[in-house]
Amino acid sequence: MVASKEAVSAIQKYVRAANYISASQIFLGDNFLLDRPLSFGDIKPRLLGHWGTAPGVNFIYANLNYLIKKHQAEILFVLGPGHGYAGLQANLFMEGTLGKYFPFATQDLNGLGHVIKNFSWPYGFPSHTNPGTPGAILEGGELGYSLGTAYGAVLDNPNLIAACVVGDGEAETGAIATAWHLSKFFDPATNGAVLPILHLNGYKISGPTIFGRMSNSDLLSLFKGYGYAPSIVEGDDEGVYEQMMGTLEKSYQEIREIQKNSKKGKMTGVPRWPMIVLKTPKGWTGIKELGGLKVEGNYPSHQVVAAHAKEDVKELHAVENWLKSYKFEELFDPKKGFVKEIKELVPDPSLAMGNSKHARGGEAVLQDLKLPPAEQFAEDAKIPGTMGSSSMRRAGLYLNEVFRLNKDAHNFRMLSPDETYSNKLDVIFESTSRSSVMPAEPWDKDMGRDGRVTEMLSEHSLQGLMQGYVLTGRHAVFASYEAFVQIIASMADQYAKFIGVMRNYPWHGRIPSLNYILTSSGWRQEHNGFSHQNPGFIDDMLHKRGCFTRIFFPPDGNSTLVVLKESLATNGGINLIVAGKTLEHRWLTPDLAAQELKQGLMVWDFASDDNPQIVFGAAGDYLTKEALAAISIIKSETPNVRVRFVNILELSTLGVGGCHVPLTFEKYFTADKPVIFNFHGYPQTLKELLFDYHENTGRFSVHGYIESGSTTTPFDMQVRNETSRYHLVMEAYRTLGALGDVDKAKAKALEEKYQNKLTEHRDFIKEHGVDPQEIENWQWKSF
């Protein structure tokens, strides 16, 4: 490598070039080298992009390039302030990575012009980091998830360093605030490292940031308290370059020392990882003042600095003088590209940050899981309705074996907000433990530095970890109380968009699916109350366009095993397994469960007649039980009524059943008979899907969660939401009586009978506090 002064000069030239390209992308539609005076016609008709953070991004990227070349280090770049994409794309162009994946981005005048013009342009490049950004594993449209994603990427990647740039506006988010603690779950002996770089330029869109107004001593105290060894780099002159070079070198050596000592067993306490607070002016090197308003070092530099450059002469000249100040003609030749000093600063393609194999998926990083057969942990269900199945106990046994089989691969983890025991999945601790490098007490259980289960009461941080882990080619399960996974709905939405767009770029290889287990559902959170009763995450995921979101509602433990194996074996999607943790009935053998999974739904013959007069459908374990109990009552009261029961195992973005196979709707639900659905989630969710299947939606009735709950009994949760067996029976007799399939007088009398049952039940639980035995100990009887 070149000597220090030469290195500083090379980095300065690199940053000048990157700043020019960054600013040009926002403004220029032509005249890309300023060969002639800038005119209104050279300015894009719409000025879009964010300038303020770009100079700092360019400064960091250039210095990281120097570090990579010096040490041949493997570094993944994670950009939190994703709207600084003009800066990131400039660097990708300069290092040649952009040209690898977008052949028109050649390092000559044509390529430069193509990149500049197509930034923030219809069918060109977006204004923020996106799935088409080489080297990116983070969507730039939403703030707060960079640090969690970076930590997920380095899990089980011992040679990888994730340089994570956290914007000081982004640092105000709750997600970032908790993510600083993730270092406390990382064993340096087996994992990589994150180097957080807090890019503190002082301003958001229209005002100062909290961190921007904190003193250096307070900043140092804060991050020391978080457990880091912070360094502050600040300035706007040549000295800041020397500071940054020295601080990055120091940080790199500290990271390697921590890892080396940990591997030798010399470090047993909590490591104090380095982190950097970089303080540079907002819009550094840009327009200093415009129209009497301070720009550089102030909020007006956040987005488009001279928003009227296409029609205002003063602003046009200000942009021209700004761009000329970089003397780009000294750094770039229209035919040969960049000068030698810049080219020498760029790492070899195998180490270029935009070309990181960890951000592309595929065989270079992906190793499929070894999965045991589902029937290995199944329970006898030859007689439908046998008691003794707990979906989460079955899932725990299966996951425990997955951990055991993949122990040496280091490619599987589970995340949960302090709920592994509560969710009845704790048998996994036979094969692993909860990760922690914090001090341990003698009475702690299932804790270890090398644990593969991360428990933290921050769903945001866990979601970030999972995204970073999965996008870099490894497998994970996120188990949560159903009501509280809603906290990360926005993150999951961004992720769904990310993987949806990824499919447009063939250089993205296979990645595992994101897997959620949603348990402790609202139907059995009657002991906690209304706050714990919310199936809304299902709705959020079903609104995603494309066939990659699958929602499973296994009705029993054997079905849970089948869908869990299916979920862990799939790639590139999002899977939700919605199942309870209480001891319930067994309905299907493993073979029947596998058969139902193929189509996503199935007629249960043991609860069905030929040529039905009425059809019951159910999705969800507790809702299935109530539907079957209703059928049992109907067959007891009116044996001649012919019924059919259809269990819905899967919903997808394309409708009922699996989106991977076509559905002949009438085959299951007949062409004209009334259908009563009992649905785990909000009724409207299922209704929207049904509209796609049949014009005569009037024959469909959907029961589901109608936002009625409290601390009560399990059956009263069904009663309050009108999904109880009694409600289904009453509706069935109203319908059958109106159709003449049951004598109207008899139907009316039966409806009144079960209305009285509801009154009796309410009186009973108010007196005794529990459900009556006929409910609590109900058993299925075949007919």
Q: Are residues 146 and 106 in the same domain?
A: yes
Q: Is the dihedral of CA 329, 333, 339, 345 positive or negative?
A: positive
Q: What's the average model confidence in pLDDT over 398-406?
A: 98
CATH of the domain at 18: 3.40.50.970
Q: Are residues 540 and 632 in the same domain?
A: no
Q: What's the average model confidence in pLDDT over 759-782?
A: 96
Q: What's the average model confidence in pLDDT over 743-768?
A: 97
Q: Are residues 553 and 639 in the same domain?
A: no
pLDDT at 662 over 90: no
- pLDDT for the residue numbered 663: 76
**Do the beta carbons of residue 277 and residue 232 sit within 8 Å?**
yes
Q: Model confidence over 229-248: pLDDT tens digits?
A: 999 999 888 899 999 999 99
The DSSP string of 523-589 is GG-TTT-GGG---HHHHHHHT--STTEEEE--SSHHHHHHHHHHHHH-BSSEEEEE---S-EEE---
Q: Which of 752, 765, 750 is nearest to 719 (CA)?
A: 765
pLDDT at 273 over 80: yes
pLDDT at 548 over 90: no
**Do the beta carbons of residue 547 and residue 351 sit within 8 Å?**
no
Strands (E), 417-524: 434-435, 447-448, 453-455, 475-481, 514-519
> Could you tell me the two tokens for 22?
């960054």
pLDDT at 270 over 90: no
- pLDDT for the residue numbered 768: 97
- The C-alpha atoms of residue 267 and residue 290 are separated, in whole angstroms, by 54
In which band, very low, low, confident or very high, does the pLDDT at 336 lie, cut at 50, 70 and 90? very high
- pLDDT for the residue numbered 287: 98
Q: What's the average model confidence in pLDDT over 399-411?
A: 97
**Do the beta carbons of residue 783 and residue 604 sit within 8 Å?**
no
Count other C-beta atoms under 10 Å from residue 285's C-beta.
21
pLDDT at 43 over 90: yes
pLDDT at 535 over 60: yes
Question: Percentage of the chain surpassing pLDDT 90?
Answer: 91
In a domain, 783, yes or no: no
Q: Are residues 623 and 707 in the same domain?
A: yes
For 173, which DSSP code?
S
Render the burial of 547-566: b for 16+ CB within 10 Å, e for the rest.
ebbbbbbbbbbbbbbbbbbb
Question: Any bridge partners for residue 193, and if so which?
Answer: 161
Mean pLDDT over the full length of the chain = 95
Q: Which domain holds residue 243?
A: 4-347
- pLDDT for the residue numbered 27: 98
> Could you tell me the two tokens for 414?
């589970």
Domain boundary, last residue among 347, 366, 394 = 347
Strands (E), 631-680: 643-648, 650-652, 655-656, 675-679
Long-range contacts (CB closer than 8 Å, 24 or more residues apart) made by 659-667: 659/547, 659/550, 660/547, 661/598, 661/599, 661/600, 663/599, 663/600, 663/601, 663/693, 665/693, 665/694
Residue for token digits 């956040």?
A: 302
Question: Percentage of the chain surpassing pLDDT 70?
Answer: 98
In a domain, 559, yes or no: yes
pLDDT at 654 over 70: no
Q: Model confidence over 610-620: pLDDT tens digits?
A: 999 999 999 99
> Could you tell me the two tokens for 573?
């999607």
Q: What's the average model confidence in pLDDT over 304-332?
A: 97
Q: Which pTM value belongs to this model?
A: 0.96
In a domain, 358, yes or no: no
- pLDDT for the residue numbered 696: 64
Lowest mean pLDDT among 424-433, 447-456, 525-534: 525-534
In a domain, 117, yes or no: yes
> Could you tell me the two tokens for 321?
């003088």
Q: What's the average model confidence in pLDDT over 362-382?
A: 96
Q: Are residues 627 and 519 in the same domain?
A: no
Q: Are residues 332 and 422 in the same domain?
A: no
Q: Is the dihedral of CA 298, 304, 309, 312 positive or negative?
A: negative
- pLDDT for the residue numbered 1: 45
Domain boundary, last residue among 312, 331, 347 = 347
In which band, very low, low, confident or very high, does the pLDDT at 542 lie, cut at 50, 70 and 90? confident
Higher pLDDT, 388 or 755: 755
In a domain, 738, yes or no: yes
- The C-alpha atoms of residue 164 and residue 346 are separated, in whole angstroms, by 19
- pLDDT for the residue numbered 695: 62
Q: Are residues 559 and 653 in the same domain?
A: no
In which band, very low, low, confident or very high, does the pLDDT at 189 lie, cut at 50, 70 and 90? very high
Q: Are residues 276 and 189 in the same domain?
A: yes
In a domain, 708, yes or no: yes
CA 470-473-474 angle, to 5 degrees, is: 65
Q: Is the dihedral of CA 714, 719, 722, 723 positive or negative?
A: positive
Count other C-beta atoms under 10 Å from residue 325's C-beta.
15
